[in-house]
Structure 1
Amino acid sequence: MKIEKIERSKHKQERVLVYLEGGDLLRITESELLRFGLCIGLDIDDRTVVELQQSGARSETRVRAANMISSRPLSRKELSKKLKEKGAAEADAESACDWLEEIGALNDAEYAAMLVRHYGGMGYGEAKIRDELYRRGVPRELWEDALSKSPDAQEAIARVIAQKTKGRVLDEKGRKRLSDMLLRRGFAWRDVRAAIAQISENATEFDYEE
C-alpha cells in the first residue's frame, strides 16, 4: 500500500503521522521516518507496516521515558510501572529502561544514595529510609551501600531535638512525646534512648511543634 501523506502530530511533538491508502494511519517517530526511508508515494508491504508499528511504539516509549526521568528522579521499577500505566507494552518499557541505563540517565544506585541523603537530611532514621527505598522500588542489593553513607544517627537525632526544643528543657511528658516522635521518624530505640538520656531532668513544661 502506498503512503499518501506524512505530517507531524499537532498534539505530540515526537510523533509523525503516516497516512496510507485505504485510510490506515501509522503513528511513528522521525527515527522510523529516516530509518525506513519513508516518503509520499512509497509502496510498503504488510510486513513493513507491522515493523513500523512496533518500532514506532518502542521509539515513543523511549521519548516518554526520557521525558519522565528528566522531570524527576525515578527508580527503574517506578519508571517501568509508569510507562506501562501510560499504555506501553512491557517489552517496550523494559527496553526504554535498558536504553536509559546504558546512557547513564537511569541509575538505581545513584537514586538510592539520593534518597538516603534526602530523608537523612530531613531528620529521618534508617527504618523510615528503608521504607522509602522499598516503596520506590530500589533493589535490595543496593540498600546497604546507600545506607552506609547516611548521617550518623546520634548526630541526626541531636539536630531534630535541637530543632524541636529550641534549647529548652523538657519534662518527663515532653521527653516521652519527643521519644515517640523520633521512633516514628524511623530511628532505632537504642539511639533514641541514648539521646533522651542526655536531656536534663530539671524540666520545665514545654510543648514543641511536631
Structure 2
Amino acid sequence: MAEITMIEAQKRSGRFNIYVDGHYAFPVSESVLVDFRLYKGMEIDKELEEQLTAADDVAKAYNRALDYLSHQLRTEKEVADKLVTLEIPEETIEQTLKKLREFALVDDAHYAASYVRTVMHTGDKGPRVIRQHLRQKGVGEKVIDEALTLYTPEEQLAVGTAVAEKLAKRYQHNSSRNQEQKMRQGLMARGFGGDEIKAMLDAVDLTPDVDEQQALLAKQGEKFLHRYRALSPSERQYKTKQMLYRKGFKLDDISQWLADFGESAE
C-alpha cells in the first residue's frame, strides 16, 4: 500500500501538497488535513485518495461560498447559483450546502424573517411583493408563510398609510378622482391587497380643495380647448369634455366650467 512521505505547506495560506511514495500526488486544504488526520507515514489507497480529493473540492467550494456570504445574507438558491457560475459540479455544490447548513451559514427561514423585518421598518412593500421577492430567491412557500406572520395587519396598515401619504402628495395636483386612483394603483403595485388599501386610503385625508380643483379643471380645460381649436365648436366641446372626464373631473363640473367659459356643454 502507498504511503504519505511528505506534507508540504504551499505559499498560499491554508493549502498543503501531499506526496505519496516520494512523489507529489495532490493538494488539500487545511480543513481536509485536519478532518482526515493526515500525517507523514500514513498509508493511503486509491479509495482514500478519491475521498480526499472530493473533500478538498468541497472545501474550496465552501471557501468560495463564505466569500459570497460575507457581504450579506443569502438564500440556498443564491449560493447554489453562484457556485454554478464558478463551474463547480452539482454533487460538490450539494455537499457544500450541507456543510453550510450544519454551521447555520445558510438558513432560508432566517433570511425570510430578516427580509420581512427590514421591509416593516424601512421599506414600502406589501405582503404580495414580499412573497414574490422571496419566491425569486428560492424560498419555499411554507417558509414564506411563516415569515409573513411577522408582518401583522397593524404593521401593514402603518407602512401602507405612510406610502399612501407620500402618494397623495405626489398626485396632489391631479383631480381628486385621479389622485385616489393613482394612489390605489401605487399601493397595489407595492403588494398591498384590496381591503388593506381601503383602510390605508381611509387613514389619509383626501378631502379635495374645491378652489384648487376648480383651478385645475380650468387649466386643463383651456389646454384641451386650445389643442382642439381647429375642430368645429361641437366637436371641440365633445373632445374637451371627454379628455377632462378621463382626467377624473366630474361631468357636472365640466359642463358648468364650459358654460362659464363661454362654451356650451351641449
TM-score (norm 1): 0.77
Q: Distance in 2 between matches of 1:168 and 1:83?
A: 46
Q: Secondary structure in 1 aligned to 2:70?
A: helix
Q: Which has the higher helix share?
A: 2
Whether the aligned pair in 2 keeps the contact of 1:129 and 1:186 (CA below 8 Å) is yes
The equivalent of 1:133 in structure 2 is 134
Contact 1:169/1:199 (8 A) holds in 2: no
Read off the aligned partner of 1:190 and give its amino acid letter: D
Cα distance in 1, alignment partners of residues 98 and 129 from structure 2? 29
Percent identity of equivalent pairs: 21
For 1:178 and 1:15, how far apart are their aligned partners in 2?
Answer: 59
Instruction: Report the Cα distance in structure 2 between the residues aligned to 1:96 and 1:75, rounded to whole angstroms.
Output: 14
Residue 104 of structure 2: aligned partner: 104
Q: Measured at CA, do residues 27 and 108 of structure 1 come closer, stay the same or move farther in structure 2, by a change above 3 Å?
A: same
CA contact (8 A) 1:112 1:133 kept: yes
Q: 1:50 to 1:160 in 2, by over 3 A?
A: same
Structure 1: where are the runs of 5+ without partners? none
The answer on whether the counterparts of 2:161 and 2:201 sit within 8 Å (CA) in structure 1 is no
- Matching residue of 2:144: 143
Residue 179 (str. 1) matches residue 184 (str. 2): yes
Which fold has the larger relative contact order, with Cα–Cα distance below 8 Å and residues 6 or more apart in sequence? 1
Deviations 1:163-197 (A, max 9, x none): 34459956322222222111111111222233334
CA offsets 1:3-30 (integer angstroms, 9 cap, x no match): 67734254xx444344678986623201
> SS of the counterpart of 1:81?
helix
Unaligned runs of 5+ in 2: 217-266
Cα distance between partner residues in 2 of 1:84 and 1:27: 23
Q: What is the DSSP-based 3-state SS (H/G/I as helix, E as strand, rest coil) of the residue aligned with 1:71? A: coil
User: If you compute each CA radius of gyration, which structure gives the higher value, 1 or 2?
Assistant: 2
Q: Partner of 2:192: helix, strand, or coil?
A: coil
Aligned residues: 203
1:78 partner SS: helix
Whether contact under 8 Å (2:171, 2:179) holds in the other structure is: no
CA contact (8 A) 2:61 2:96 kept: yes
Q: Distance in 2 between matches of 1:138 and 1:150?
A: 17
The answer to whether the 8 Å contact 1:15/1:30 transfers is: yes
Q: 1:7-156 maps to which residues of 2 (within 5 A)?
A: 7-8=9-10, 10=12, 13-18=13-18, 26-34=26-34, 35-39=36-40, 45-120=45-120, 121-151=122-152, 152-156=155-159
